[in-house]
Amino acid sequence: MRFVLDNSVVMRWLFSDGSEADQLAAQRVLEQLTIQENSAIAPAIWPLELANVVARAESKGLLGEAHSSAFIGLLQRMAIRVVEDTASHALGNILHLARRYQLSSYDAAYLELAMREGLALATLDKQLARAAKKAGVVLLPEAGG
């Protein structure tokens, strides 16, 4: 199984915060990635989102550089592939989806990728999950609330 992985799920892995339901959903997504034939994809903005959250958390003293570096190392060894053509869809389908569902362009990039690839979306972002459902995108079980 392949699916689109939203940063909201990955941040639950790093910080172990949020509601108990979100933590359980994030854990289930992580378990899916431990199955050899499963993999995830993410739009090209994902590493930038990840770097932004990590840098902000480090600057606030919420996360040590050694811990974040170890976490990023783990992510790099996981079956997560960044799809590099996000920018080529930014002013077309991504903008359209952002307008239609009142999403940030960043969230719309995840939705657009899931729609284009015909894949389920793993997200804990409630607004993105609602938009995905309206757009007919399947949410990875237990993700998206």
Neighbours of 70 (CB within 10 A): 11
Say which CATH number the domain at 104 has.
3.40.50.1010
Domain assignment present for residue 144? The answer is: no
pLDDT tens digits, residue range 43-69? 999 999 999 999 999 999 999 999 999
Domain assignment present for residue 139? The answer is: no
Average pLDDT over residues 25-37: 94
**pTM, 2 dp:** 0.93
Average pLDDT, the chain: 95
Instruction: Name the packing angle between helices 105-117 and 126-134 (round to 10°).
Output: 40
Task: Give the residue numbers spanning the domain of 18.
Answer: 2-134
Domain assignment present for residue 56? The answer is: yes
pLDDT of residue 145: 46
pLDDT of residue 144: 45
Distance in angstroms (rounded) separating the CA atoms of residues 24 and 16: 10
How many CA atoms, within 13 angstroms, populate the side-chain half-sphere of residue 77?
7
Domain assignment present for residue 41? The answer is: yes
Q: Which residues 6+ apart lie within 8 Å of 78 measured at CB?
A: 33, 40
Q: Considering its fold, how many domains does the chain have in total?
A: 1
N- to C-terminal Cα distance for the chain? Answer: 21
Average pLDDT over residues 117-136: 97
Q: Which amino acid is at 131?
A: A
pLDDT at 143 over 90: no
